[in-house]
Chains A and B, each alone.
Chain A
Amino acid sequence: MKKITTRTLAPLLLSACLAQMGTAQASIAYVSNEKDDSLSLIDLDSLEVIETIDVGQRPRGITFSKDFSKLYICASDDDTVQIMDTTTHQIIGELPSGEDPEQFSLHPDNRRLYISNEDDALVTVVDAQDATVLAQIDVGVEPEGMAVSPRGDLAINTSETTSMLHWIDTETHELIHNTRVEQRPRHVEFNQDGSRFWASSEIGGTVAVIDVDSKEIIKTLRFEIKGVHPDKVQPVGVKLTDDGKYAFVALGPANHVAVVDAQSFEVLDYLLVGRRVWHMEFDSKQQLLLTTNGISGDVSVIDVDDLKVTKSIKVGRYPWGVAVKP
């Protein structure tokens, strides 16, 4: 038998390494295009769109299962939540979401999906594994934002017309509290340990920071951008860094993302992005923040360390939601 030497092994090892490098997958951002009924896939290394996939009608909120094997898509005009296999990019099933699903949030148990039904003033809780409705909870008019605490014991829903945050006990599926906030609350985001959450009010132009234990608003943030009419400052999406350093607030038609010190609540900067910025998502290392800009039909990329907008990438018409697969 031929003797295996370092000389014969070296090229093998090298080619194995190269093959490994070649197959290494970059993070991919999935962006739902509301008016194109499609998803745009952005390679986060090259920052280019690598694929566009047709999905159900009017895709808005999107989120991954905890193992990133499935992508849940709110196909609002199809009144369903589609399940996409993230390997084959085929739609492999649908969930009974109730009418006009817009935003949703997956419970840490990776099964329960809390879905806002905008037209029915309901929150539908669906078991994502066996596609059954576990509960339907009456909330205010035009429910929109939805978030489940990382602790798993609490879900918060926002109702746009009632201007309220509805606190839902995830064990009993009952409303346990309501918090009045400024007009048209759109989005809720918990911090890393679930002790606080941030809720944006689009028409009110504010973001309320709420303490979970006391159920009190501890801070109401306001935004003022030089040269931009206050009416255009309409906060929607909120994202918080895991290290508790920054909060990013998408300011809608003001075309800016506010950078807020998450400890002192001081607004540090306003970053210019595309037109009508709504939702945002970090890459897995939280080095990049992606924003969906509905009217300009692109996704802006923010360098989180430098707090600079580095690029805007053209996607489909009216990009709405964004989720990142590591």
Chain B
Amino acid sequence: MLIFTLKRFALAALILFVAVTLMFLMIRAVPGDPVQIMLGPRATPELQARLTAELALDQPIFRQLIIFYGNMLQGDLGTDVFSGRAVTQIVFQQLPFTLELIFGSIIWSAGLGIFLGAYAASYPNTLIDRMVAIASVSFVAAPAFVVALLSLLLFAVHLRWFPAIGAGNGFWDRMEHLVLPSFAIGLSWVGYIARLVRASMLEVLGEHHIRTARAFGLAERRVVLVYALRIAILPVVTVIGVGMGFLLSSAVFAEIVFARPGLGKLVIDSITTRNYPIFMGSVLVSTGLFVVSTALADLINAWLDPRARSAK
């Protein structure tokens, strides 16, 4: 188990390393002087010189990369070109908003998806099952940012049920601000998870141990909810872990549409202002988030499934 964990994280670290290196080289490959691009043509020579030194742009590219990694390992991702604040500080200030949105989305959609999938699997080939099937295919297809825009139009602008912009203050206000964006992000997940759970549930319900549980007169509710569902939800964990990149992508759009603070908004702003350190920092953190969540999903699965736990 320990070796399994270590291996998983080693691979994650390797992927992160390759990704960051690629990104770094890509930025440096842009034609033109990066300092000029970032500061604009009218910046003072002193300012240009300071930034050049700060980013070690006068060094050969290989050394730049080593300096970058050296700083990164010390938790230093550089400073904001404009405000001079540490990039890590800015990124970690925005991160909670994005995490709040992602978890909010996945909790409601996984909950509803698991329920619908399990329900449909318990009554296969009935009208309910068909309706769930069609609904989930349609939900899966709904792109998050289009759903975000349409729900903004309908529920915030037209019906005025929920606030349209921002993240809110205080617990209930924040929850209220979370409703529409997490609805937009979660909708396609409901369909996806419902289909996944239905398929794995049907498989599990056909296994011998379910027949055993029934042969001991266990209540059908307990057979379905405990004996079958505990196994059927295992793939959901993996899918959510791997889907973190997809969730982050949707979060970028949801944050723009609902003018919420967060990593997505930070990235877009840093692109339009050519603020490379901020851009690099937020991409690094979101990539790291993806890598960690994939590895975490494996670990959670190993924890939920005793068979995987003792697998060598």
**Do A and B make up one complex?**
no
Interface residues of A (CB under 8 A from B): none
